Chains A and B, each alone.
Chain A
Amino acid sequence: MRAFLTARGYQEVETPILGPHATPDRHLESVPAAGGFLHTSPEFAMKRLLAAGSGPIFQVVKAFRAGESGRHHAVEFTIAEWYRLGPLEGLLREMDLLLGDLLGTPPAERRTYRELFLAGVGVDPLSAPEERLRTLAEAHGHPGRPDDRAAALDYLFSRLVEPGLGTRAPAIVTRFPAPLAALARLSDDDSRTAERFEVYWAGLELANGYDELQDPEEHRRRFATENRARERAGKPAAHPDERFLAALEHPGIPRCSGVALGVDRLVMAALGASRLDEVVAFREAPDN
Chain B
Amino acid sequence: MANTYATNEFRSGLKVLLDSDPCVLLDCEFVKPGKGQAFTRIRYRNLKTGRVLDKTFKSGEKVEAADVLDTEMEFLYSDGGDWHFMDPNTYEQYSAAKAALGGHEKWLLQGMTCGVTLYNDAILLIHPPHFVDLKVVETEPGIRGDTATGGSKNATLETGAVVRVPLFIEVDETLRLDTRSGEYVSRVKN
Taking Cβ atoms with an 8 Å cutoff, the residues of A that contact B are: 25, 27-28, 67-73, 141-144, 150-151, 154-155, 157-158, 162, 180, 182, 198, 205, 208, 287-288
6 extra interface residue pairs, beta carbon distance < 8 Å, beyond A69-B30, A155-B36? A70-B32, A143-B55, A143-B61, A151-B37, A158-B31, A158-B33
B81 interfacial by beta-carbon distance below 8 Å: no
Which chain A residue has the least Cβ–Cβ distance from B61? A143
Q: B54 and A141: CB pair below 8 A?
A: yes
Q: With A68-B38, A287-B8, A288-B8 known to touch, is A155 a contact of B57 (CB < 8 Å)? A: no
What's the interface size class on B, roughly?
20 to 34
Interface residues of B in 29-66 (CB under 8 A from A): 29-39, 54-61
Interface centre among B33, B54, B55, B58 (most CB of A within 10 A): B33
Q: B56 and A27: CB pair below 8 A?
A: no
List the A side residues contacting B35 at CB < 8 Å: 25, 27-28, 180, 182, 208
Taking Cβ atoms with an 8 Å cutoff, the residues of B that contact A are: 8, 29-39, 54-61
List the B side residues contacting A157 at CB < 8 Å: 33-34
Top-4 shortest CB links A-B = A70-B30, A158-B33, A154-B36, A141-B56
Interface residues of A, dominant DSSP: loop
List the B side residues contacting A287 at CB < 8 Å: 8
Q: A27 and B39: CB pair below 8 A?
A: no
Q: State how many angstroms separate the Cβ of A131 from the closest Cβ of chain B.
A: 19
Interface centre among A27, A72, A182 (most CB of B within 10 A): A27
The CA of A70 and the CA of B60, in the complex, are separated in Å by 14
Determine which of A28, A71, A162 lies in contact with B29 in the assembled complex, contact meaning CB atoms within 8 Å.
A71
Which chain A residue has the least Cβ–Cβ distance from B60? A67
List the A side residues contacting B8 at CB < 8 Å: 67, 69, 287-288
The CA of A221 and the CA of B64, in the complex, are separated in Å by 40
The CA of A27 and the CA of B58, in the complex, are separated in Å by 11
Q: B39 and A143: CB pair below 8 A?
A: yes
The CA of A150 and the CA of B37, in the complex, are separated in Å by 10
Q: B38 and A180: CB pair below 8 A?
A: no
Q: B34 and A180: CB pair below 8 A?
A: yes
Which chain A residue has the least Cβ–Cβ distance from B41? A141
Q: B34 and A205: CB pair below 8 A?
A: yes
16 residue pairs from A and B, CB less than 8 Å apart? A27-B36, A27-B38, A67-B60, A68-B30, A68-B38, A70-B32, A71-B30, A141-B54, A142-B56, A143-B58, A144-B58, A150-B36, A155-B36, A158-B36, A180-B36, A208-B34
